[in-house]
Amino acid sequence: MSPLPQASREAMERLVADCRALAARAAQRVGGRVHLMEVCGTHSHAIARAGIRALLGDDVRLVSGPGCPVCVTDAGQIDLCLQVAQRPNTILATFGDMVRVPGSEGSLADVRARGGRVKVVYSPMEVLTVAQQEPQCDVVMAGVGFETTAPTIACMVQEAARLGLRNVLLLSAHKLVPPALSALLAAEEVRLHGLICPGHVSVVIGSNAYRGLADEHGVPCVVAGFEPADILLTIRMLLQQVADGDARVENAYRRAVTPEGNRRAVEAMYSVFDVDEASWRGIGVIPGSGLALRDEWSAFDVMDRFGLVTPEVRDHPACHCGEVLRGARLPAECAAFGKACTPARPLGPCMVSSEGACAAEYRYRAA
């Protein structure tokens, strides 16, 4: 029995009907459209694929959020990855969807065309195998990802130490989600009435992690799974809260998410990383929102080993990824969307990453 909630067409229609009815009541209460943020890029993808935006009707506006780790990686760090990949005797290891993100001088794909060594990995543990096979090369992992992925990178570092591998390095661009949400809510650029909280980040950090947001900002937070039924159940719960004037944390993904999360994963993460400030593309520097290697692991820090400095990079003038990441603009509201900016010729990361809101919207754009 698969644990995935497959719903019949009737059940889905019923859920949609419930949501629409609740949306009308919620809209009345807030005096306008209800704004819900899809925090996580994988949710944006699932929502676009299921056509949920259109199904909900005009009382609800689903906006995208900063939950695409590749999209929020500082442009300067993208350029650092390109620099590293071009160094002699160096292999840059990366998750797949970083490969086509445009930096100042092309993408990692372009660097590969010019002879740079770029290795796509599914698991960070593959880095260790490469490092063992190529002892004369430095293998640098581009550490991009939130709390879902950071614990796996932490395990990579710990195992590298256990194996005595001196040629494994990390470029940490890891980030934490709740501080970014806090910053967005505090900035009040977009009036958000509810948050669809990321499912797999929450597996690690637990649903309690959003209590602060609900209490301080009066915003309902519901943790969602990734099937269309999961997402509609979540939206129904959010709209119910908005209609009732509530602001609580609820968990609609209980089959995988507990209130405390995965303690072991959190411990692994914080035994290797310290919390630091981080620069989020499109948002700016957010204190306490990033992960940096702890001093005792600094031998693995590529910034130290290679003496790197993160360059300041301007975004393409026609690129509105920042606003999309902050929920201030929908992909379809970007003048470049589908014209100057397409998956074949992306201006910014939101169109290239598999979790980018623009990529999701483009791939599943209605005929």
Kindly identify the residues of this chain, within the stretch 137-166, that bind another protein according to CB under 8 A. Answer: 144-146, 148-149, 151-152, 155
Instruction: Characterize 57-85 residue by residue with b for buried, 16 or more Cβ atoms within 10 angstroms of its Cβ, and e for exposed.
Output: eebbbbbbbbbbbbbbbbbbbbbbbbbbb
Minimum distance from residue 199 beta carbon to another protein (Å): 7
CB 181 within 8 A of CB 196: no
Nearer to another protein, 247 or 269 (CB): 269
**Which range binds another protein by CB under 8 A, 12-20, 209-217, 272-280, 302-310?**
12-20
Amino acid at 367: A
Instruction: List the one residue out of 197, 179, 160, 226 whose CA is nearest residue 3.
Output: 226
Contacting residue, 187, 255, 312, 339, with another protein by CB under 8 A: 255
Contacting residue, 34, 36, 38, 41, with another protein by CB under 8 A: 41
Minimum distance from residue 275 beta carbon to another protein (Å): 19
Minimum distance from residue 233 beta carbon to another protein (Å): 7
- Reduced to 3 states (helix: H, G, I; strand: E, B; else coil), residue 336 is coil
Nearer to another protein, 27 or 36 (CB): 27
**Count of residues in the chain:** 367
> H-type helices in 164-287, by residue range?
177-187, 199-205, 211-217, 228-244, 263-272
**Which range binds another protein by CB under 8 A, 53-61, 181-189, 208-216, 294-302?**
53-61
Nearer to another protein, 306 or 364 (CB): 364
Contacting residue, 29, 32, 51, 332, with another protein by CB under 8 A: 51
Site string for another protein, 198-227 (x = CB under 8 A): xxxx-xx-----------------------
Site for another protein in 256-315 (CB under 8 A): 256, 262, 264-265, 268, 315
Minimum distance from residue 3 beta carbon to another protein (Å): 4
Burial of 303 (0-12, 13-18, 19+ CB in 10 A): middle
Nearer to another protein, 175 or 247 (CB): 175
CB 176 within 8 A of CB 289: yes
Q: How far apart are CA 338 and CA 340, in angstroms?
A: 6
Minimum distance from residue 366 beta carbon to another protein (Å): 6
Is 367 a residue that touches another protein (CB under 8 A)? yes
**Which range binds another protein by CB under 8 A, 161-169, 178-186, 212-220, 336-344?**
336-344
Minimum distance from residue 253 beta carbon to another protein (Å): 9
Nearer to another protein, 65 or 194 (CB): 65
Instruction: Characterize 167-205 residue by residue with b for buried, 16 or more Cβ atoms within 10 angstroms of its Cβ, and e for exposed.
Output: bbbbbbbbbbbbbbbbbbbeeeebebbbbbbbbbbbbbb
Site for another protein in 61-120 (CB under 8 A): 67, 69-70, 95-97, 100, 102-107, 109-110, 112-114, 120
**Cβ-based neighbours of 82, under 8 Å, separated by 6 or more:** 103, 104, 105, 106, 107, 108, 111, 116
Minimum distance from residue 26 beta carbon to another protein (Å): 12
* Main-chain phi, psi angles of 358, to 5 degrees: -70, -40
User: In angstroms, what CA-CA distances link 96 with 71, 122, 201, 206, 292?
Assistant: 13, 7, 19, 27, 22
Minimum distance from residue 116 beta carbon to another protein (Å): 12
Contacting residue, 224, 355, 356, 358, with another protein by CB under 8 A: 355
User: In angstroms, what CA-CA distances link 309 with 282, 300, 302, 304, 312?
Assistant: 20, 16, 10, 9, 9
